[in-house]
Amino acid sequence: MKRTGVRWSKVVELAVVVLAAMWALFPFYWAFINSIKFPKDTFESSWIPFLQFQPTADNWITEVSIRETQHALMNSTIISICAAVVATILGMFAAYSLARFRFTRPWKNEDLTMWFLSQRIMPPAVVLIPFFLLMSTLRLRDTQFGLILIHTTFVLPFAVVILRQMFKDLPLELEEAALVDGCSYFSAFWRVALPLVLPGLVSTFIICLAFSWNELLFTLR
């Protein structure tokens, strides 16, 4: 009876997870389905291709063939990937320092973490003019490199806060054992701590990539 109860609880949990995933993914499915419909089928309640409507790739082909669209997609891809990579790398080192070393002067670890977090809480419009003047002075206006620097600045707090907690959750004894075996602090970080938080690095990169991709304010300026 106990095994049966455990089995049914797992079935219920799985059902809840599947329903939640369907609820979250339905808008993406709805948008994709409408993108492969003919205009006359757009306003009809049809959700299954080939059975309820005949799909077409003409909408995608027409949009991607536009030169401005290709240029915009290329710029967004380059800027987002570069900003996410730089933010993940810098955040990785900063997060490990905040998780493993104690800072007392002039700021404590908690103060530094809050400072990183405040950079994201701050509305981007507040620094719009300073960034504009800075990029103009450095002659980086309307350049990919300038946008990469700005996007990195605003997604870096996510990398620091997320990875700091992941490093803190790692058992300190693993790195201490590596130090006893002759590793330096950097070697213990590189060979022991970093591989253990690799899934967190991937997640952090994806989050930074998404926020950079969706950034529009600085791109318009």
C-alpha to C-alpha distance for 82 and 152, rounded to whole angstroms:
8
Q: Give the DSSP letter string of the chain.
A: -HHHHHHHHHHHHHHHHHHHHHHHHHHHHHHHHHHTS-GGGTTS---SBTTTB---SHHHHHHHTSHHHHHHHHHHHHHHHHHHHHHHHHHHHHHHHHHHS---SS--HHHHHHHHHHHHHS-GGGGHHHHHHHHHHTT-TT-HHHHHHHHHHHHHHHHHHHHHHHHHHS-HHHHHHHHHTT--HHHHIIIIIHHHTHHHHHHHHHHHHHHHHH--HHHH-
pLDDT, position 3: 60
Is the Cβ–Cβ distance between 76 and 60 less than 8 Å?
no
Residue ranges of the domains in the chain? 2-62, 66-220
Instruction: Find residue 49's DSSP bridge partners.
Output: 53
pLDDT, position 8: 75
pLDDT, position 206: 94
Is the Cβ–Cβ distance between 207 and 158 less than 8 Å?
yes
Instruction: Find residue 206's DSSP bridge partners.
Output: none
How far is it between the farthest Cα atoms of the chain? 74
Instruction: Find residue 53's DSSP bridge partners.
Output: 49
Q: Which CATH superfamily groups domain 66-220?
A: MetI-like (1.10.3720.10)
pLDDT tens for the chain, residues 1 to 221: 546 656 777 888 889 999 999 999 998 888 888 888 888 777 777 777 877 888 888 888 888 888 888 888 999 999 999 999 999 999 999 999 888 888 777 777 777 777 777 777 778 788 888 888 888 888 888 888 989 999 998 899 889 989 988 998 888 888 888 888 888 888 988 888 999 999 999 999 999 999 999 888 887 76
pLDDT, position 6: 64
Place of tokens 């907690």: 165
Distances 179 to 138, 141, 163, 182, 184 between C-alpha atoms, Å = 44, 47, 22, 5, 6
